[in-house]
Amino acid sequence: MASIWDYISPSGSGSQNRSKWLRDNVDQPISEAARYYLGAGNSIPNLLSMITEGTPTESLGRASQASQQMFAPDQSIMDRITSAGNMLGETLNVGAGLLGTGQAARTVGPALEDATRAVGRDVAERLNQRGPMPTTGMNAANFFSEGAKPVNTNIDTLREAYQARADQMKLAPADRIQARMDRKRLIDQDYQSPAPAGIFENLADKYPRNPDQAAKLPLDDRARVLVDRRDEISTRLAEKIRDAGQMDAATRYFYHSDGPIYRAAKNAGLSDQEASEYLKDFSQNFAATSPRTKVDENIRNATSAMAKTAQGIPHRQIVGPGSGGVSEKGYPMMTNPGGIHGQLLDQVISGEGINTMTNTKPAMFGANMVGNRSGVTVDTHAIRGVLQTLNDIDPGSVPDGFILPEFKAAYRKDPTKLTPNMIADTIGKQKIGEKGSKVDAQTEYPLFADIFHDTAMKLGADPAETQSMAWFGLGGDTNLKSAPRTVSDAFDERLDITAQALNISPEEAARRVFRRQIPLLGASGVGLLSQFDGQSSEGY
C-alpha cells in the first residue's frame, strides 16, 4: 500500500521519481474517480478547471485560504494539513454545486477532503511516533477505491493514558487509585438480557477430537479414565457445585457479560453495529491475552491491544514510557518472540482468528465471552476440579501421568491426599489429521469438556455456566479461590479508575475506551490483589 511517506522520505519508493509517484498515487486515482462521477473525459485537470473557471469569488477564495493554511505559523503539521483539507473539500463542493454538476460531483469533495486529512494523519503520526516507522500508510487512492473510512490516530491521547498508568505504577500498591464504592455504574448487572446475536454455532462440534476413538490418547493414554468414569465424575461434580451454593450466585454469569458490555458501548455513543463489533473484538482480544493472566490484567491488556490496532499501531510497538521490556508499563504481556499473547493477537488482528485445534481454550473463551455458552473453557481450574473430583470418588485413581514427577511417590503412599500443586494440569496433545496436513491438537481437551457438558445437563445450566460455577465454587479444592466477581464488575471498576487517573468524567472515560482511543487503566492495589488472587483465565 502506497503511503505519503514514500513520497516525502529520501529512501521512499516514490522519492526517485516524484512526478511518477504523484501521477500513480494521486492524479490517476482521483482522475478515475472524476470520470466515474462525472463521465468520460473528466481527468483531474479537467475537473479542477471545470470547478474553478467562472466560479464566484467564494470558491476561489477558499482555495487560496487552503493554500495559505498549509504554511500557517504556530500550528502543527497535522493541524495545517487537516485545515487545508477541510477548506479544499468545501471549495470543490461549492464549485461543483454552482456549476450544476449534481450530487455525484459533490461526492468528490468530501472524499478528497477525507483523503487530505488522512495524509495529514499519516505524516503527523510518523513524525511524532517513537521507534521504527511502520511500513504501511494511507493515501488518497484508498478513499476512492474503498470509500472514506474514519481513522483514529490520536496518539497523544493514547500516550497520555499509558503515562497515567505508568505514574500509578510508581506508587505503593495501597496508594494507587481504587474504584469508588459509591460510583455510578456504567456497566449494568443485567446478565439475563444478552447482546443481540445471530444463531451461534455449537462449540462442542469444534473440540479437537481424535477421529480414531480406539487410538491411544496423549501421554500413554492417561486420560482414558475420564472416558470410562465420565458419568461418575459429572454426577459428583454437579453435587459439589450445588453444595457450594453456586446455582443462585452471580458468578454463574461470569460469561454473561456480553449484554452489559454491549449496552455500555451503546450508552457511550456507539451505534448498534459498532457496539456489536466492539463486543466481538473485545472478546477475541480478551481471549488472546488470557493465558496465564489474572482477569483485571487481562481486561487492561485486551483494551490496550484494541486501542493500538484501531489507530494503526502494531500491538508490540511501545507508545508510552514502557516497562523496559516488551510491554507497556502496567500492561504485562507475553509478546516476545514465541510469546503466547503475541502469537494469539497476531491471529486475531490478521482476521485469521484463534486456532481451535491448537489453542482450544482461548478460542472457547473468546466465544463464551461474546455470548456463545455452548462450549467449555477448559482451564487450570477445570482440569484440577475434574481430577480432584475423581480422587474424591476413588482415592488413588488419578493416573500416574497426571501427577507431577516429584509427587508421584507421595501420592502412591497416601492417595487420599491429592493437593492441587501435585497435579500436572496441562492439556495433552497429539498429531491428528490427514497425512501431509497433520496438526498437533489438544485431544485431551474434549474429554474434560465432556464431563462439564454432562454436569451442565444434570444441573440444568449452560456448559460455560457450569465451568464458571466450578471455578468459583471449588476454589478451596483447586487452590484457585476467587472473589465472586464478573467481567462486568471488573470492567466497570477499570472505567472508574481510568476516569480518576485522567481527571475526566466516567462517561468521557467510557467514550474514549469504547471508541478505542485509550485502554482501560486500573489499580493493582492491596484490595484488588486480594479480590483477584488466583482468579486467572489461564489454561496452560
By the 8 A CB rule, do 151 and 16 touch?
no
Of the CA atoms within 13 Å of residue 426, those in its CB half-sphere come to 9
Q: With pLDDT > 90 as the criterion, what percentage of the chain qualifies?
A: 57
**Residue 198 DSSP class:** -
Q: What is the mean pLDDT of residues 113-135?
A: 44
C-alpha span between 37 and 102 (Å, rounded): 9
Q: What is the pLDDT of residue 473?
A: 84
Work out the mean pLDDT of the chain and round it to a whole number. Answer: 78
C-alpha span between 199 and 206 (Å, rounded): 16
> Per-residue confidence at 101, pLDDT binned at 50, 70, 90?
very low
pTM: 0.68
> For the segment 342-361, what is each residue's pLDDT rounded down to a tens digit?
999 999 999 999 999 999 99
Torsion of CA 226, 227, 229, 233, to 10 degrees: 50
> Per-residue confidence at 12, pLDDT binned at 50, 70, 90?
low
Of the CA atoms within 13 Å of residue 404, those in its CB half-sphere come to 12
Distance between start and end Cα atoms, the chain: 38
> Per-residue confidence at 23, pLDDT binned at 50, 70, 90?
low
- Residues across the chain: 540
C-alpha span between 250 and 341 (Å, rounded): 29
By the 8 A CB rule, do 377 and 364 touch?
yes
Q: What is the pLDDT of residue 79?
A: 56
Stronger pLDDT, 474 or 75, i.e. the higher one? 474
Q: What is the mean pLDDT of residues 157-181?
A: 94
Q: What is the CA radius of gyration of the chain?
A: 28
Q: What is the pLDDT of residue 293?
A: 86
By the 8 A CB rule, do 366 and 448 touch?
no
Domain positions in the chain: 24-151, 175-532
Q: How far is CA 6 from CA 9, 29, 138, 144, 146, in A?
A: 6, 17, 10, 19, 20
By the 8 A CB rule, do 276 and 196 touch?
yes
> Per-residue confidence at 28, pLDDT binned at 50, 70, 90?
low
**Residue 244 DSSP class:** T
Choose the weakest-confidence range: 46-60, 283-297, 417-431, 436-450: 46-60
The single-letter code of the amino acid at 233 is: I
By the 8 A CB rule, do 477 and 388 touch?
yes
- The residue among 256, 213, 204, 251 whose CA lies nearest residue 454 is 204
Angle at 497 between CA 492 and CA 500, to 5 degrees: 130
Q: What is the pLDDT of residue 532?
A: 31
> Per-residue confidence at 209, pLDDT binned at 50, 70, 90?
very high
Output helix, strand, coil percentages for the chain, rounded to the nearest 5. Answer: 55, 0, 40
Q: How far is CA 493 from CA 228, 280, 437, 526, 539, in A?
A: 45, 21, 46, 15, 25
For the cut 60, the answer to whether the pLDDT of residue 168 exceeds it is yes
Q: What is the 3-state secondary structure (H, E, C) of 420-458?
A: HHHECCCCCCEEECCCCCCEEECCCHHHHHHHHHHHHHH
> Per-residue confidence at 433, pLDDT binned at 50, 70, 90?
confident
Q: What is the pLDDT of residue 294?
A: 85
Which spans in 372-414 are helix H? Answer: 380-393, 408-413
- Phi then psi for 247, rounded to 5 degrees? -60, -30
C-alpha span between 442 and 428 (Å, rounded): 6
Cell digits for 73?
505559523
By the 8 A CB rule, do 184 and 506 touch?
yes
